[in-house]
């Protein structure tokens, strides 16, 4: 992976867009990132990590909110753009964190959401791959299979951190390796095995307790003492005894069942015989009762049959009665219709009714046509009157329009003193002046606040500078104690060269540390930046107020604004009046033209209507004749036509009624003869109401059914050859009751014995099942216990190492091998790192100890015994080895960009040369190495530099110096 370029805008200490072009250092290989403490050297690395992983470790505690530069204005954005290449593909990732900005509409703030964009350089242009936070993160994980922790370890080599890693205990070293190699799963596997073994142990204990409890319950159930060792033989003995007792009671129960079945059969036979004897007696008694009622039923049967015959004649009788009534009605209707026609014609009507009807219908049609003409005549007369009225009104309106036209022409000639456009321009100028006056008042108030803030920030800067000067003076006073604290027995003093240190100076309890100085410097830088911003703000406000200059008061401007508004209203009203006059003139002329055409049309319509009136008056007079009106004539002819039609219908209906009456009389006589009734009087005498006839029929039918049923019962095969003596049902029932009691007793006893045996079998089965579960759990427990102990570093694990430590030990072994390749060169083959698992045998169960082999003595020693320069070289070698192993584990990624942070200030010139030669070797295959340092010697040795400098405003800028 090679990082080409990173651009930071509004990020950390960088307010304006700052681009770091790492390709500019490609020819040099090694370059220096230089700058004062707090200038923002490490912020460049933060930006790279943020672009790739959406997080920056130094800002995690604040939730990432401090990513946005404090120097950004409300509308300025925060953005990081990173361009890098990996596996032959060039990518660009752009991120912006969430931040708040002023609303575009209204007051208050709104939250700008975080964004992300991933592009790839394809065929000479950037092509978008992902544009969502989640999907960009997922795609980057596929492209760069390193976690953020791994990336920080292999790309940024912090000397202090790796010196700590070099001299750390096995447990502390395990924590870092676990993070880099993700060995949590082995620790979790160890924990899971321990938990599983404990669960199985509890399962065995519960199973044994359940077996003992069940065996005790079984012994109590059968009344036997439970042996100390419950065995299968004891269970079989109990089950055999229970089964023997059950066999005895089952034999007794079966014998009682056979006896019960015998007495049940005898009782059923006696009961059936008694039932047959009772049925025979009941049938004989029923026949005797029916014989006594036969005469009365015979009379009812005769009445029923006569009424049934009358019911058959009933339809014919009703039809004859109806036809007689219809004939009477037809005769009355014929007489009434004849009277109506005679009254209308004066007794001179025609005998040919149909011809008279047709002639009258034709006359009615002619009169209806004449009636329409009479009505149209009235309409035409009204039309003439309306046309005359319209012509008169039109002539009057023409005169009015001529006068209006003259007035409107004069109105258009009036001139407007001031146009609305001029008035609007004047009003806009006054409004703009008012806004400037209001702004001047507001800026004057802000200027007063800014001057006060400028004084406060200046006082704060003076106080911070005084605190820093005081700390530096204390540090100078305590240099002797600091040098004394660095002395090591047997090593030369850096001041006098002596290896004896009889009375070294001691540090005071409140010694000034580098961290205290760094904090004070940061406080001074922050105070200085804040003071500069306050000064710039006050100067900016003073310039703006001066530019606005002298202006009228708000009251004067408001008065001018009122006058300009009134002038605009007057101009608009005048222009509207002129435009309205022009529009009205056009409407008047259009109306005059339309009115002229309408007058001509009305005159033509009136002339045509007068001609039609003359023609219609002649036709109506001829049709009316002697009548007062055509309507009266039409009414008389229509009434005569209706009377003629009614007479024709009445004549036909009378003839039909005469024929129907004759037919119904013949049908009635035929039905009387068919049903054997002498005459109508006999028919009327035989008729019965429906309910009474139904009651008679039911009585006769019930009698007949009862006789048939009793006769059939007497003849039944079941009632033939029955014994005379009655059956002994009572005696058979008594024997059955005794048998049931004995059977119930044996069944109950057998159920009790069977339940007792079933409970014993169930308890024995539970004991056996418990044995099986316990045995299976013991086998599984032994396997899991042995595996858990081995994984946990206990017996039978002869190395006494836990699984995670073993895995990390293998990784540490590879790291040490990779580190030794460079350490041998840097130490002239004197030193070599060794991975030792000896610590595991002393009980700490880590096995991740690192020792240093000194080839000069052939002995191994602790890394703490190395000098400062030697520790730096060993730490650097270990850091490079770790980076190599981690990248190999991540799919063999090649890191062509590397950063090393600090540590060079503690090196003597010779050791520094060795370190620089080692770093030069890292440039192989085009690798670029960035060194972060403020040591002046490094600035002299490395000409290619990336300078991070603070501006007078407090924010930082970067500059490439090649």
The residue out of 533, 551, 569 marking a domain boundary is 551
Q: Are residues 2 and 132 in the same domain?
A: yes
With respect to residue 770, please indicate whether it lies within any of the assigned structural domains. Answer: no
Query: Which of 923 and 252 is assigned the larger pLDDT?
Result: 252
* pLDDT beyond 90 at 132: yes
Q: Are residues 106 and 2 in the same domain?
A: yes
For residue 568, the model assigns a pLDDT of 61
With respect to residue 214, please indicate whether it lies within any of the assigned structural domains. Answer: no
Provide DSSP, 364-415. HHHHHHHHHHHHHHHHHHHHHHHHHHHHHHHHHHHHHHHHHHHHHHHHTTPP
pLDDT band with cut points at 50, 70 and 90 for residue 557: low
Give the distance, in angstroms, between the CA of residue 220 and the centroid of all CA atoms in the same chain.
62
Q: How many Å apart are CA 716 and CA 280, to the nearest integer? A: 9
Q: Are residues 11 and 122 in the same domain?
A: yes
With respect to residue 590, please indicate whether it lies within any of the assigned structural domains. Answer: no
671-to-162, 258, 662, 703 alpha-carbon distances in Å: 135, 77, 15, 31
Q: How many domains does the chain have?
A: 3
pLDDT band with cut points at 50, 70 and 90 for residue 116: very high
Query: Which of 852 and 161 is assigned the larger pLDDT?
Result: 852
Query: How many Cβ atoms from other residues are within 10 Å of residue 715's Cβ?
Result: 10
pLDDT band with cut points at 50, 70 and 90 for residue 553: low
Q: Find the CATH number of the domain harbouring 320.
A: 1.20.120
Q: Are residues 18 and 112 in the same domain?
A: yes
The residue out of 504, 525, 551 marking a domain boundary is 551
Most confident region among 337-351, 694-708, 924-938 by mean pLDDT: 694-708
Q: Are residues 546 and 653 in the same domain?
A: no
Residue 808 near residue 177 (C-beta atoms within 8 A): yes
* pLDDT beyond 70 at 498: no
* pLDDT beyond 80 at 321: yes
- The arithmetic mean of pLDDT across residues 807-827, rounded, is 88
For residue 161, the model assigns a pLDDT of 67
Nearest to 278, CA basis, from 704, 705, 703, 729: 729
pLDDT band with cut points at 50, 70 and 90 for residue 80: very high
- The arithmetic mean of pLDDT across residues 645-653, rounded, is 81
Provide DSSP, 786-807. HHHHHHTT-TT-TT---HHHHH
Residue 134 near residue 116 (C-beta atoms within 8 A): no
> pLDDT of 274-289, one tens digit each?
888 778 788 888 888 7
Q: How many Å apart are CA 39 and CA 304, to the nearest integer? A: 132
pLDDT band with cut points at 50, 70 and 90 for residue 835: confident
Q: Find the CATH number of the domain harbouring 958.
A: 3.40.50.300
Nearest to 16, CA basis, from 932, 961, 959: 959
- The arithmetic mean of pLDDT across residues 436-448, rounded, is 73
Most confident region among 21-30, 302-311, 375-384, 931-940 by mean pLDDT: 21-30
* pLDDT beyond 80 at 344: no
- The arithmetic mean of pLDDT across residues 739-768, rounded, is 82
Q: How many Å apart are CA 834 and CA 578, to the nearest integer? A: 106
Range name among 153-162, 226-235, 323-332, 407-416 with the lowest pLDDT average: 407-416
Range name among 262-266, 538-542, 870-874, 929-933 with the lowest pLDDT average: 538-542
The residue out of 492, 524, 551 marking a domain boundary is 551
For residue 17, the model assigns a pLDDT of 94
H/E element holding 32?
A: strand 30-35
Range of the domain at 116: 1-144+898-962
With respect to residue 516, please indicate whether it lies within any of the assigned structural domains. Answer: yes
For residue 842, the model assigns a pLDDT of 47
For residue 48, the model assigns a pLDDT of 92
pLDDT band with cut points at 50, 70 and 90 for residue 133: very high
Query: Which of 904 and 359 is assigned the larger pLDDT?
Result: 359
* pLDDT beyond 50 at 705: yes
Q: Are residues 13 and 135 in the same domain?
A: yes
For residue 844, the model assigns a pLDDT of 47
- Give the pairing of strands 89-96 and 79-86: antiparallel
With respect to residue 651, please indicate whether it lies within any of the assigned structural domains. Answer: yes
Residue 923 near residue 913 (C-beta atoms within 8 A): no
Query: How many Cβ atoms from other residues are within 10 Å of residue 421's Cβ?
Result: 11
pLDDT band with cut points at 50, 70 and 90 for residue 839: very low
Q: How many Å apart are CA 718 and CA 729, to the nearest integer? A: 19
Residue 743 near residue 281 (C-beta atoms within 8 A): no
Kindly give the residue spans of alpha helices, DSSP state H, lying in 182-231: 184-222
pLDDT band with cut points at 50, 70 and 90 for residue 480: low
The encoded tokens of residue 483 equal 């040098």
Residues 6+ apart with CB under 8 A from 311: 687, 693
With respect to residue 64, please indicate whether it lies within any of the assigned structural domains. Answer: yes
pLDDT band with cut points at 50, 70 and 90 for residue 903: low
With respect to residue 604, please indicate whether it lies within any of the assigned structural domains. Answer: no
Q: How many Å apart are CA 570 and CA 119, to the nearest integer? A: 63
For residue 78, the model assigns a pLDDT of 93
With respect to residue 511, please indicate whether it lies within any of the assigned structural domains. Answer: yes
Sheet holding 18-21, edge to edge: 18-21, 2-9, 79-86, 89-96, 115-122, 125-130
């Amino acid at each position: 992976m090679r990082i080409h370029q990173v651009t930071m805008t509004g990020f950390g200490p960088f307010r304006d867009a700052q681009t770091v072009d790492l390709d500019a250092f490609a020819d040099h290989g090694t370059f220096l990132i230089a700058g004062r403490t707090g200038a923002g050297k490490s912020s460049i690395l933060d930006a790279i990590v943020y672009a790739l992983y959406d997080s920056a470790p130094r800002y995690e505690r604040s939730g990432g909110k401090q990513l946005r530069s404090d120097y950004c204005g409300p509308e300025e954005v925060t953005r990081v753009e990173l361009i890098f290449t990996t596996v032959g593909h060039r990518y660009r990732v752009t991120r912006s964190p969430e931040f708040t900005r002023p609303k575009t509409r209204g007051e208050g703030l709104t939250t700008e959401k975080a964004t992300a964009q991933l592009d790839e350089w394809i065929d000479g242009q950037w092509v978008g791959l992902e544009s969502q936070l989640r999907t960009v993160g997922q795609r980057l994980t596929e492209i760069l299979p390193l976690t953020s922790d791994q990336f920080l370890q292999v790309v940024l080599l912090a000397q202090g951190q790796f010196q700590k890693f070099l001299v750390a205990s096995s447990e502390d070293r395990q924590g870092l390796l676990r993070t880099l190699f993700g060995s949590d799963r082995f620790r979790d596997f160890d924990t899971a095995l321990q938990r599983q073994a404990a669960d199985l142990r509890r399962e065995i204990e519960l199973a044994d307790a359940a077996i003992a409890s069940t065996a005790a319950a079984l012994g109590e159930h059968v009344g036997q003492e439970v042996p100390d060792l419950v065995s299968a033989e004891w269970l079989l003995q109990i089950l055999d005894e229970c089964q023997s007792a059950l066999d005895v009671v089952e034999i007794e129960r079966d014998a009682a069942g056979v006896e019960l079945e015998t007495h049940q059969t005898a009782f059923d036979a006696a009961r059936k015989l008694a039932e047959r004897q009772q049925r025979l007696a009941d049938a004989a008694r029923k026949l005797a009762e029916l014989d006594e009622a036969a005469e009365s039923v015979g009379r009812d049967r005769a009445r029923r049959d006569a009424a049934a015959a009358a019911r058959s004649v009933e339809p014919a009788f009703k039809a004859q009665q109806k036809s007689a009534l219809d004939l009477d009605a037809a005769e009355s209707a014929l007489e009434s219709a004849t009277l109506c026609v005679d009254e209308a014609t004066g007794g001179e009507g025609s005998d040919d009714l149909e011809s008279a009807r047709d002639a009258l219908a034709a006359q009615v049609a002619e009169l209806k046509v004449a009636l329409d003409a009479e009505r149209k005549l009235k309409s035409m007369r009204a039309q003439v009157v309306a046309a005359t009225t319209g012509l008169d009104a039109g002539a009057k309106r023409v005169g009015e329009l001529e006068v209006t036209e003259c007035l409107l022409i004069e109105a258009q000639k009036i001139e407007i003193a001031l146009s609305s456009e001029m008035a609007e321009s004047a009003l806009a100028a006054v409004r703009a002046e008012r806004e400037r006056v209001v702004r001047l008042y507001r800026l004057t108030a802000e200027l007063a606040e800014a001057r006060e803030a400028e004084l406060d920030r200046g006082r704060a800067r003076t106080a911070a500078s005084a605190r820093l000067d005081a700390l530096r003076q204390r540090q100078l006073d305590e240099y002797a104690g600091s040098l004394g604290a660095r002395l090591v027995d047997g090593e030369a003093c850096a001041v006098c060269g002596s290896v004896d240190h009889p009375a070294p100076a001691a540090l005071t309890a409140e010694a000034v540390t580098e961290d205290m100085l760094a904090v004070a410097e940061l406080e001074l830088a922050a105070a200085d930046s804040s003071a500069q911003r306050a000064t710039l703000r006050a100067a900016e406000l003073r310039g703006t107020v001066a530019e606005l200059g002298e202006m009228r008061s708000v009251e004067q401007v408001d008065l001018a604004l009122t006058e300009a508004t009134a002038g605009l209203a007057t101009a608009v009203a005048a222009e509207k009046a002129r435009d309205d006059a022009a529009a009205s003139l056009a409407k008047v002329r259009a109306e005059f033209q339309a009115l002229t055409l309408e007058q001509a049309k009305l005159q033509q319509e009136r002339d045509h209507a007068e001609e039609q009136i003359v023609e219609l008056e002649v036709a109506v007079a001829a049709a009316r004749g002697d009548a007062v009106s055509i309507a009266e004539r039409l009414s008389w002819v229509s009434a005569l036509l209706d009377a003629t039609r009614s007479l024709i219908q009445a004549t036909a209906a009378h003839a039909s009624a005469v024929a129907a009456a004759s037919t119904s009389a013949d049908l009635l006589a035929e039905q009387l003869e068919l049903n054997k009734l002498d005459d109508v009087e006999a028919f009327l005498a035989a008729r019965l109401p429906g309910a009474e006839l139904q009651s008679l029929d039911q009585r006769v039918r019930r009698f007949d059914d009862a006789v048939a049923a009793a006769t059939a019962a007497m003849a039944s095969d079941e009632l033939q050859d029955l014994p005379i003596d009655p059956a002994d049902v009572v005696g058979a029932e008594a024997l059955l009751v005794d048998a049931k009691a004995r059977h119930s007793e044996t069944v109950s006893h057998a159920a009790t014995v069977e339940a007792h045996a079933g409970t014993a079998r169930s308890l024995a089965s539970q004991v056996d099942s418990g044995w099986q579960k316990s045995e299976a759990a013991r086998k599984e427990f032994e396997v899991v216990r042995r595996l858990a102990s081995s994984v946990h570093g206990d017996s039978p694990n002869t190395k006494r190492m836990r699984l995670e430590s073993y895995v990390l030990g293998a990784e540490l072994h590879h790291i040490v091998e990779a580190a030794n390749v460079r350490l041998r060169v840097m130490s002239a083959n004197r030193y070599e790192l060794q991975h030792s698992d000896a610590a595991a045998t002393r009980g700490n169960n880590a096995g991740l100890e690192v020792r240093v082999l000194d080839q000069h003595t052939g002995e191994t020693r602790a890394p703490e015994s190395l000098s400062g320069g030697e520790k730096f070289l060993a730490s650097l070698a270990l850091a490079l080895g770790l980076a190599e192993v981690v990248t190999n584990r991540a799919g063999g990624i090649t890191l062509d960009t590397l950063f090393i942070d600090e540590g060079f200030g503690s090196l003597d010139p010779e050791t520094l040369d060795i370190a620089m030669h080692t770093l030069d070797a890292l440039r192989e295959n085009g690798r670029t190495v960035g060194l972060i340092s403020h040591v002046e010697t490094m600035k002299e040795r490395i000409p290619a530099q990336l300078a991070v400098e603070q501006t007078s405003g407090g924010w930082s800028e970067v500059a490439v110096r090649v």
